[in-house]
Structure 1
Amino acid sequence: MTKNSNGKTSARAGYHHGDLRRTLVRIAREEIAQSGAHAVSLASLARLAGVSQPAPYRHFADRDALLEAVTTEGFDEFSATLAAAASAGEAGGALKAMALAYVAFGEANVELYRLMFASHVVPKAGSGSALEAAAVGAFNRLREALSATTPADRVDDEAHLVWAQLHGLVMLKADGHIKRPLSQLVEVSSLFNRG
Structure 2
Amino acid sequence: ITTLTSLGDTCKFLLVTNVNVTQVSAIPIQIAANPDTVVTGGTSVLTITATPNAIATWYPGGTTSPSTGYTVTTMPPRTTTYTVVLQRGPCSETLTVTVWVIEDGCESSDVFIPNTFTPNGDGANDIMFARGTKIAEMYFAIYNRWGEMVFETSDKNVGWDGMYKGRPADVGVFGYYIKFKCYNGLESFKKGNITLIR
Instruction: State TM-score, norm by structure 2.
Output: 0.27
- The structure richer in strand per residue is 2
- The structure richer in helix per residue is 1
Higher relative contact order (CA 8 A, sep 6+): 1
Instruction: State TM-score, norm by structure 1.
Output: 0.27
- Structure with max Cα Rg: 2
